[in-house]
Structure 1
Amino acid sequence: MCCAIEFVVKYVLIIGNIVFALLGLAILGLGIAAHVNFKDIYELIPVGLGALSISIITLGCIIFVISTLACCGAIRESRCMLMFYALFMAILAGVKIYLTVLIFGFLDSASATVTRWLINAFNNENLRPAYNTLESLFKCCGTTGAGSYGNAMLPKSCCASPIDNQCQAETSYSGCIGELTSYFETFGESIGAVLIVIIIIELVCVLAGLFLSCQIRRRRYTA
């Protein structure tokens, strides 16, 4: 019976970590895409988004390497590799629990935080080019809409199809505060839910790695 369980755990661990390795590559690609696509607006939001995208890239690399290590450990039945894998996955799960708490904590004050960020950025003339890039990316205008610009001419980034190269208030986008708040809330909830699922899977992998390592040790001592 134990041999059958060990066989199942071994191949579940191998298949599961192949999936994790692919997930690591996907996270790596996501981090690179975020770093390239949003680098022009990093200066608008004072939370180190550049560092965040680099952290995502690093996390993707780590997951890929550790998952590959787990596959090799399970195939070769290496206790050292499996124990290292279980330890590192436990640490990763702890980090993700911390990140999940931070994300859901941020969501509680997302509206007020985004409002403060964008008003400060909008009122800073040096950040206006970056703010216009933000408007183009998120299809929004000003802070609360065209009225944010007062009597000034609206930038082309406030409209989908400027008439005679000019944006009219009647055809302008809605405010960026509402758009970004909605984006952060939706994105944050999705990321939080995904992290919870990944944490559960990682804890199962920790138990599987420890179980397989103990079975290999027991078999070698009784051989």
Structure 2
Amino acid sequence: MALGSCYTCIKYLMFAFNFIFWLLGCAILGVGIWLRVDEGAAEFMHESSKIDMFYTLAYVLMAIGFLIMLIGFLGCCGAIRESQCMLALFFMFLFVIFATLLGFGIWAAVAKSSFKDMTADMLKDGVENYYKDEKSQTFMDSIQTYFGCCGATLGNEDYKVVEDIPGTCDPDNYRKPCQSQFYEWIESKLVIVAGVAIGIAVVMILGMIFSMVLCCAIRDTVA
């Protein structure tokens, strides 16, 4: 079917947008893979069940990235084939992902205090159960080795109420508690993830506008 010159322009803009959208899906997929296989993070993440949430986050991002790539492909086909059904499906999927990513991005940006408390609780629990639980010991050993720190908030003083100071606490790092460094590491990951999520959510608005305009143009042409 033939569309007017203005709508034909929108049609090809829609195709171009969805190609960019597909690339952004690749970016989300890449961030998820990066969180999962980052060599520095893996040094202490892969052995500790206490931070499985980061693995979960990585898998969620990979799934979302892959889904966005598929939806971008759907939008490209809908624009080229001038299919109202495919464009409507594209719009609905886009809206759902838009709401999800925007909400997650805002949550990640404002939840800093919650994550700070969480890291403090994780490290405190790790110290208290260091000589009781193998996973806690592995977690604290990995943290202390990777960040060059000792204990949770008081350095080597944290272990004096438990038992001996672990061998992974280097004497040069006795006065360097792990909480601030661990939290800064988590915060740096969240900033990247939140920025990508919010940026892509904003770009999605253009995709929804293009798809609705093109869908209406195709409907008017058929009518």
Q: TM-score, normalised by structure 2?
A: 0.79
Whether 2:203 is the aligned partner of 1:197: answer: no
Q: Which moved more, 1:81-90 or 1:48-57?
A: 48-57
Whether 2:130 is the aligned partner of 1:129: answer: no
1:87 is matched with which residue?
92
* 1:210 maps to amino acid: M
Q: Aligned equivalents of 1:136 and 1:15: distance in 2?
A: 48
Q: TM-score, normalised by structure 1?
A: 0.79
* 1:9 maps to amino acid: I
Whether 2:46 is the aligned partner of 1:44: answer: no
Q: Aligned equivalents of 2:116 and 2:185: distance in 1?
A: 11
Give the 3-state SS of the residue equivalent to 2:46 in structure 1. Answer: helix
Count the aligned residue pairs: 208
Q: Structure 1 196/32 Cα, relative in aligned 2: closer, same or farther at 3 Å?
A: closer
Alpha-carbon displacement from aligned partner over 1:11-66 (angstroms, at most 9, x marks no partner)? 22222222221222232233234334545255123x73332222112111101110
* 1:129 maps to amino acid: T
Give yes or no for contact 1:24–1:62 (8 Å, CA) kept in 2: yes
Q: Which moved more, 1:206-215 or 1:144-153?
A: 144-153
Q: Structure 1 190/22 Cα, relative in aligned 2: closer, same or farther at 3 Å?
A: same
Give yes or no for contact 2:71–2:90 (8 Å, CA) kept in 1: yes
Q: Structure 1 154/62 Cα, relative in aligned 2: closer, same or farther at 3 Å?
A: same
Show structure 2 runs of 5+ residues with no match: none
Aligned mate of 2:63, from 52, 58, 67: 58
Q: Structure 1 211/130 Cα, relative in aligned 2: closer, same or farther at 3 Å?
A: same
Between the two proteins, what is the percent identity of the paired residues? 25
Aligned ranges 1:201-212 → 2 under 5 Å: 201-212=203-214
Aligned mate of 1:104, from 101, 106, 109: 109
1:3 is matched with which residue?
4
1:120 is matched with which residue?
125
* 2:84 maps to amino acid: R
Q: Structure 1 172/97 Cα, relative in aligned 2: closer, same or farther at 3 Å?
A: same
Q: Aligned equivalents of 1:137 and 1:81: distance in 2?
A: 49
Q: Structure 1 29/185 Cα, relative in aligned 2: closer, same or farther at 3 Å?
A: closer
Q: Structure 1 174/6 Cα, relative in aligned 2: closer, same or farther at 3 Å?
A: farther
Show structure 1 runs of 5+ residues with no match: 159-166
Give yes or no for contact 2:94–2:204 (8 Å, CA) kept in 1: yes
Q: Aligned equivalents of 2:165 and 2:140: distance in 1?
A: 16
Residue 108 of structure 1 and its aligned partner are, at CA, apart by 3.2
Q: Aligned equivalents of 1:134 and 1:153: distance in 2?
A: 12
Q: Which moved more, 1:31-40 or 1:202-211?
A: 31-40
Aligned mate of 1:183, from 155, 176, 185: 185
Alpha-carbon displacement from aligned partner over 1:86-139 (angstroms, at most 9, x marks no partner)? 110001111123213432342133322211122112322322123322334445
Q: Aligned equivalents of 1:137 and 1:30: distance in 2?
A: 22
Give yes or no for contact 1:44–1:131 (8 Å, CA) kept in 2: no
* 2:28 maps to amino acid: I
Q: Structure 1 75/90 Cα, relative in aligned 2: closer, same or farther at 3 Å?
A: same
